[in-house]
A and B are shown apart, each in its own frame.
Chain A
Amino acid sequence: MIPRVILYEGPGSEPLPVAERAGLLRLLLERGYAVSCVRDSLPAESRDSAMAVLARGNAPFPSIDLTEDRSAEQTLAALEAIRNQMQISPVGAHKPWFPVIDFSRCTNCMQCLSFCLFDVYGVSTEGKIEVRNQNNCKTDCPACSRVCPDVAIMFPKYQHSPINGEQISADDVRREAMKVDISALLGGDIYQALRDRSAKAKSRFSKERDDERALKERQNCLLKLKDLDIPPEVLASLPSPDEIRAKAEAAMARAQEAMATRK
Chain B
Amino acid sequence: MEKQPRILYCHCAYSKIIPPAVKSEVLEKLACSGVSFEALPDLCEMSARRDPKLKELAGSGSLKILACYPRAVQGLFLAAGSPLAEGQAEILNMRTGTAEELLLPVLASGEAR
Chain A contact residues, CB within 8 Å of chain B: 1-2, 4, 18, 21-22, 25-26, 28-40, 49, 91-92, 94-98, 100-103, 131, 134, 154, 156-159, 164-168
Contacts and interface: CB of A to CB of B under 8 A. Distances in A.
B111 interface: yes
Contact of B34 (A29, A39, A101, A164): A39
Interface residues of B, number: 45
Given A1-B51, A29-B41, A37-B39, A92 B113 contact: no
B44 A157 contact: yes
B75 A100 contact: yes
A97 B15 CA distance: 10
B44 A156 contact: yes
A132 to B, nearest CB: 11
Nearest to A92: B14
Contact of A165 (B31, B47, B75): B75
26 contacts: A2-B51, A4-B53, A22-B27, A25-B31, A28-B39, A29-B11, A32-B13, A32-B42, A35-B38, A36-B36, A36-B38, A39-B36, A39-B111, A40-B113, A49-B52, A49-B56, A92-B42, A96-B48, A97-B44, A100-B75, A102-B71, A103-B78, A131-B79, A154-B75, A165-B71, A166-B71
B13 A92 contact: yes
B75 A29 contact: no
A97 B44 CA distance: 8
Given A4-B53, A156-B76, A32 B36 contact: no
A4 B44 CA distance: 16
Given A39-B34, A156-B68, A164 B17 contact: yes
B21 interface: no
A86 to B, nearest CB: 15
Contact of A96 (B14, B78, B95): B14
Interface of B: 11-15, 17, 24, 27-28, 30-32, 34-49, 51-53, 56, 68-73, 75-76, 78-79, 95, 111, 113
Contact of A39 (B35, B51, B72): B35
A188 B72 CA distance: 33
Contacts of B37: 37
A162 to B, nearest CB: 8
Closest 10 CB pairs of A and B: A165-B72, A165-B69, A100-B75, A156-B72, A96-B44, A29-B11, A22-B31, A18-B32, A96-B45, A95-B14
DSSP majority for the A interface? loop
Contact of A100 (B11, B17, B56, B72): B72
B96 to A, nearest CB: 8
A29 B39 contact: yes
A76 B16 CA distance: 23
B41 A92 contact: yes
Given A1-B51, A37-B39, A30 B71 contact: no
